Homo-oligomer: A and B are copies of this chain.
Amino acid sequence: MVTMSEVAKAAGVSVMTVSNVINGHRYVSDATRDRVLAAVDRLGYRVNVAARSLRSGSTGIIGLAVPDIDTPYFGQLASLLIERAARLGYQVVVEQTGATRENELGALAHSRVRRYDGLILSTVELGDEDADQLRSDLPVVALGERLSGGHAVDHVAMANVEGARDATRHLIERGCRRIAAFGAQPGPEVNANSLRTAGYHEALTDAGLDPSPELAVPCAFSMAGGAAAARSLLAGGIPFDGAVCFTDTVAIGALRALADHGVAVPDEVKVIGFDDVEQGRYTVPSLSTIAPGHSEMVDAALRMLGDRIAGRRGEDEHEMFTGPHQLVIRQSTGGP
């Protein structure tokens, strides 16, 4: 392993001069710089980041903890984050929690966190009761909904209520009267399910429609979940003419199940998702959805993390950002 002192020896200068050249500091003559760079090239010297980290106290690495990266939503999130972080000079370690509370806590608690300058934690199962754990010395930004606010974390959220409300309202405007909600799960907890359920109910109530409990079908946020939810209604003979799916993956699964049962979308049932994953442009029919402002969310998360790493915000000042949301109309609700 080539070290600075070997380069220094080869170039006939001191270690410090090599360091200055490597880090682009001033006060190095052109001649010296050239000699050093030549030696660097010749010997194949590369900075040892471990030593640099030890010295500087920072690692240049951000952790990203998500349930599973092989999922359209989290894949897109990770892709954006890695790209933007790279521009800021950070690399990203991806941890998969499998959406278990245990692993989400693990991402915080494990010794490995000493490796990160900051952590972006996409919480799914982490609830209010765990918020204390987030008070670590590690800068953390929570990305998700399972926190009711007022907690000791910076937080980036989606417009869950408003998005689900707009999606439901859109179906109502398109003439639907019996609108199912796939992924619904009313409850006191603050999470994507309950917030979107609230938005769904809000739109129904605003339109003078009665929420029918049998149309609020809980399901996993996955294609399999969406397919199962749709099948359960179809098999039960419960009529519906619209489906608000709480994620695009749920919607894709629902489209699949509807196709299996020979139900025409959008003619007999209109379907809308939530997330605006790229996939939705290519389903048959293409999928209407709520775009939750991924790009803005990633930017906000990085900005918050950067501020905190740099100590630009006090221990007890916490920021909150909600992504802008937008209705995207495609074929599954009668769009072009």
Write the nearest CB–CB distance from A138 to chain B, whole angstroms. 9
CB-based nearest B residue for A63: B91
| B91/A112 in contact, CB under 8 A | yes
What does DSSP make chain A's interface, helix, strand, loop or mixed? helix
Interface residues of A (CB under 8 A from B): 1, 44, 46-51, 53-54, 57, 59, 61, 68-72, 75-76, 78-80, 82-83, 86, 91-96, 111-115, 137, 223, 227, 252-253, 255-256, 259, 278-279, 281-286
| B112/A94 in contact, CB under 8 A | no
| Given A95-B91, A282-B253: A54 touches B46 (CB 8 Å cut-off) | no
In Å, the complex CA distance between A115 and B49 comes to: 6
Count identical subunits in the complex: 2
Q: Which residues of B contact A286 (CB under 8 A)?
A: 256
| B82/A75 in contact, CB under 8 A | no
| A256/B284 in contact, CB under 8 A | yes
A-B contact pairs, 18 of them (CB 8 A): A1-B137, A47-B111, A47-B114, A48-B54, A49-B114, A50-B54, A50-B59, A69-B79, A78-B94, A86-B95, A86-B96, A92-B94, A223-B278, A223-B281, A252-B279, A256-B282, A256-B284, A259-B285
The 4 residue pairs across chains A and B that have the minimum distance between CB atoms: A70-B79, A50-B53, A259-B284, A70-B75
| B68/A79 in contact, CB under 8 A | yes
CB-based nearest B residue for A76: B70
Q: Which residues of B contact A72 (CB under 8 A)?
A: 70
Write the nearest CB–CB distance from A146 to chain B, whole angstroms. 22
Write the nearest CB–CB distance from A59 to chain B, whole angstroms. 6
Tell me which of B1, B79, B93 contacts A61 (CB under 8 A): B93
In Å, the complex CA distance between A93 and B281 comes to: 30
Q: Which residues of B contact A83 (CB under 8 A)?
A: 96
| B92/A93 in contact, CB under 8 A | yes
